[in-house]
Amino acid sequence: MPSESTPNSARISNNRRKKQRWHFFSLFQKGSIFQWTLIIFFIVTLPLIGTLLYSVSSIQDYINKSQETLFQTLKVIENSQLLSNDLLLMDRSIRQYLAVDDIDYFLIYQTHHQHFVDIATQPQQYQLTPQLQHSLSTLSNHEAQIFNKTLVSQKSMTKQLVADDIKEYTALRTEAEQFLEQSNAQMRVETASLSALAKTLKTQVKQAALFSVPIALILGLLLLYLINRPIKHIERAIRKLGHAQFNRPIYIEGPSDLREIGQRLEWLRNELNLLENSKQFFIKNISHELKTPLATAIEGTGLLQEEFVGQLNTEQHKIIELLQIANMRLNSLIGNLLEFQKANSKSASMHYSQFNLNQLINQISKDYQLLLNRKQVTVTVTAIDIKITADRDKIRVIISNLFSNALKFSPTGAEIKIKLQIVGHNLHMLFADQGVGVSSEQAPHIFTEFYQQQTPDSWKIKGSGIGLNLVKTYVLAHQGQIKLLSANILYSGANFLVILPLTPS
């Protein structure tokens, strides 16, 4: 029992994670790609907007605090200067009163005193530091004492007392100057505090930006991945359709418009699969249907050639030879159609065996001897004795099609070169002819399915356009390569190089 509980719990946990992921993707499937683009834009910009609002709010708070602090500090300095100035005018007025004994100067003295008192009581409207409050309170009390003494002395007409009192205004002005210096010092402290606050605010804004930008990028990349994921699935599905892979259903998850594209692709896959099956069925059946009458025609021309029904003259032998050539070409075309059907069927497989490649080439040359004689084409084979492990039937199709292609485009009296060479662990097989060759415009298409080059006038039966396609298919099935080489002076036609491993990997 313990050995089974652990896998079961892991399976339950895995199923739970899949269910959660499915809920997330099912949420993503609501809405179109345009709507999700707007959502992505909003989500990505949300952290940036939050940072911007935070920065604006912090800067506004800093500006308000700076304005309030600077206003209060400047007001304290201004009042300090006014207090000092009032004390100076009071000192001057009382001295003038003492000198000329004019009551108007005493009234001026009282006016400056009242102005001093009004200014001294204004700091209640704004904040002062405890030190400044104490200094202002001391200065106000000292001034009030002197004023009261001076007022009593003036009423009692004791000028000597007034003269003694005004001497204290010198000390009082010193206290006012100290209060002004304290106000200036407080202004420097507040300015330094605002500078530190500005640096702190700058750091906070920078940290908020450094935090919000990666978050925005991560959210943007995540949501772009969610949108790009079904687009990649669509791309892979289209690529599979392009490579005629119709066996797996197409199902696209994502926004509604992408799911609709997936449904259209699935419909297209079904249609293409139906057409492909119809094509394969047609090729298979028409090839088999043609095989029977062709076999009868080959057997009949063979009997005529052997003079089974009577002796033939020279002209009749030439006609029989033409029939045999036509039968040979038709047989090659039908064989290619059958091989094409096999190569594209799902049950295609490789059957490896070891065989002598030179013998296979000789057999194929004998099959085409009648055509070679008619066009007076010679075949030059440069090779050592080579044994290869491969699918013999497919190698035969490769050699037969390259040989037939070279013969088709060779002019009368030309030469076909076949060169076999072992390079490392690979076989290099060269087929070269002296025909018209392949133009630069045709070269990219010659291995394409059903592509046909212009057939020479001497070749009465046109090809099917699948010979070189079959060659490439079977070469690749052997994990080999086929290349179209540049023509040379001696062999001005097509030069095909086939590279095959001597043994399967």
Whether 81 maps to a domain, the answer reads: yes
**pLDDT value at residue 126:** 58
134 and 23 together in one domain: no
**Domain shared by 56 and 205, yes or no:** yes
What was the pLDDT predicted at 200?
A: 80
Q: Which residues pair with 353 in a beta bridge?
A: 390
For 450: left if phi > 0, alpha if psi spans -120 to 50, otherwise beta; the answer is left
Task: Tell me which DSSP letter residue 486 carries.
Answer: P
- Residue 287: which H helix or E strand, with range? helix 256-305
Secondary structure (3-state) at 100 = helix
62 and 180 together in one domain: yes
- The DSSP letter of residue 496 is E
Confidence at residue 15, expressed as pLDDT on a 0 to 100 scale: 46
pLDDT of residue 295: 65
Query: Distance between CA 349 and CA 338 in Å, rounded?
Result: 15
Q: What is the dihedral of CA 129, 133, 136, 139, to 10 degrees?
A: -130
143 lies in the same domain as 65: yes
- Asked if 398 contacts 500 with a C-beta cutoff of 8 angstroms, the reply is no
Last residue of a domain, one of 212, 242, 259: 212
pLDDT at 383: 82
Q: Are residues 503 and 367 in the same domain?
A: yes
CA distance 451 to 90: 117
Residues in Cβ contact with 119 at an 8 Å cutoff, skipping those fewer than 6 apart: 79, 82, 83, 86
Q: Among residues 212, 247, 270, which one ends one of the domains? A: 212
The one-letter amino acid at 280: Q
HSE-CB at 357 with a 13 A cutoff on CA atoms is 27
* In a domain? residue 334: no
Same domain, 57 and 21: no
- The domain boundary residue, chosen from 212, 230, 263: 212
Q: Do residue 444 and residue 495 come from a single domain?
A: yes
Task: Report d(CA 269, CA 256) in Å as an integer.
Answer: 20
Q: Are residues 120 and 64 in the same domain?
A: yes
In a domain, 235, yes or no: no
* 100 vs 97: CA distance, rounded Å: 6
Q: Residue 484 pairs with which residues in a beta bridge?
A: 496
**Residues 424, 363: one domain?**
yes
CATH at residue 406: 3.30.565.10
Domain for residue 137, yes or no?
Answer: yes
Structural contact between residues 410 and 434, judged by C-beta atoms closer than 8 angstroms:
yes
Give the pLDDT confidence score for residue 165 in this predicted structure.
Answer: 63
Over its length of 505 residues, how does the chain's per-residue pLDDT go in tens digits? 444 444 445 544 554 554 444 444 555 566 666 666 777 777 777 777 777 777 778 777 777 777 777 777 777 778 778 888 888 888 888 888 777 878 888 888 888 888 888 887 875 555 677 777 777 788 788 888 888 887 777 776 655 545 566 677 777 777 777 777 877 777 777 777 777 877 887 787 777 777 777 877 777 777 777 777 888 888 888 888 887 777 888 888 777 777 888 888 889 888 888 887 777 777 666 666 666 676 666 666 766 666 666 777 777 767 777 776 676 667 666 666 666 666 666 556 788 999 999 999 998 888 888 888 888 899 898 888 889 999 998 898 899 889 988 888 888 899 999 999 999 899 999 999 988 888 888 888 888 877 776 655 554 445 667 788 888 988 998 999 999 988 887 888 889 999 999 888 7
Which residue range forms the structural domain that includes residue 386? 353-505
- Amino acid letter, residue 277: N
- 388 burial via Cβ count (<10 Å: 0-12, 13-18, 19+): buried
Distance CA 16, CA 9 (A): 10
Please check whether residues 488 and 358 belong to one and the same domain: yes
**What domain count does the chain have?**
3
The answer to the question of residue 297 being in a domain is no
Give the pLDDT score at 101: 76
Which pLDDT score, from 0 to 100, does residue 481 have? 93
| pLDDT attached to residue 353 | 92
Same domain assignment for residues 496 and 359: yes
Scan for tokens 């200014």, then name that residue: 119
Beta bridge partners of 428: 421, 499
Residue 100 lies in a domain: yes
Decide if 142 is inside a domain.
yes
| 487 part of a folded domain | yes
**pTM of the full structure:** 0.50
* Number of helical H runs and strand E runs in the chain: 12, 7
CATH of the domain at 71: 1.20.120
Tell me: do 21 and 63 sit in the same domain: no
- Please tell me the number of Cα atoms within 13 Å of 59 on its side-chain side: 9
